[in-house]
Amino acid sequence: MGSQDGALAGKVALVTGSSSGIGEASAHALADAGARVLVNSSSSVEAGQAVADALSTESHYIQGDISNEDDCEALVAGAIERFGRLDVLVNNAGWTVRLDHADLDLMTNDVLFKTIEVNVYGTWWMSKAAMPHLKEAEGCIVNVTSIAGLRPVGSSLAYGMAKAALNSLTEDMAKFQRPVRVNAVAPGLVATPWTADWDETHAQLGAIVPARRSATPEDCAQAVMACVTNTYMSGTILKVDGGTTLVI
């Protein structure tokens, strides 16, 4: 997506899980609008550093696993130490695995716990650690959720449970943590490295949804930017699904 003429000049954004996919596209969009960006990944260190190096503004990479509360606090502290402020938190990092929703035996405790720890606990810990700084800056949070939190679809039952929890967290924080604005972007199926071999699924979706294709990371990043730059948006769950929820 194109530059937004420095709309975020002087601002600082932290994007979790930003070494690829939606997080990477969001980091580029924020930088193109003038923000300095803290890039993060749990394990893809070289890829994360490469994203930070490629951004159009001063940016920095920190490795951290958001399913660990100490890492969440360290990421926020790292942003403050490096840039002196925090205006935008994009809670993008997540984890899932593909499981048949109809077979409950596939949903082991290990899968359930990891899905909740990364998607829900991680987002909560990041938001809680960042909140004092965001309040000072009158900033915002954007949670990357999913239409799986709105419909019984998605990679697994646990994933839908987790994303529904994040949609609820978004609305609660928007109501009670003002002046911080809190919104969520809820994509449908997105063509990312993780879904690169889902050819049949992408084709099936493209045959039925009004948009006739899966989303791209850039589609989702545009929605993230709308949540960041529209200062009258708060408590919104913004679907980016090409009309998927109209037909399923």
What residues act catalytically? 159
- What is the helix (H) or strand (E) element at residue 14, kind and residue range? strand 12-15
| Bridge partner residues of 187 (DSSP) | 240
**Rounded Cα gap, residues 127 and 68, in angstroms:** 13
Residue type, 236: T
Burial of 154 (0-12, 13-18, 19+ CB in 10 A): buried
* Residue 111 vs residues 20, 92, 155, 160: alpha-carbon distances, Å: 23, 19, 12, 13
- Show the tokens assigned to 48: 């994360």
The residue written with tokens 């109809």 in the block is: 102
On whether the CB atoms of residues 80 and 131 are closer than 8 A, the answer is no
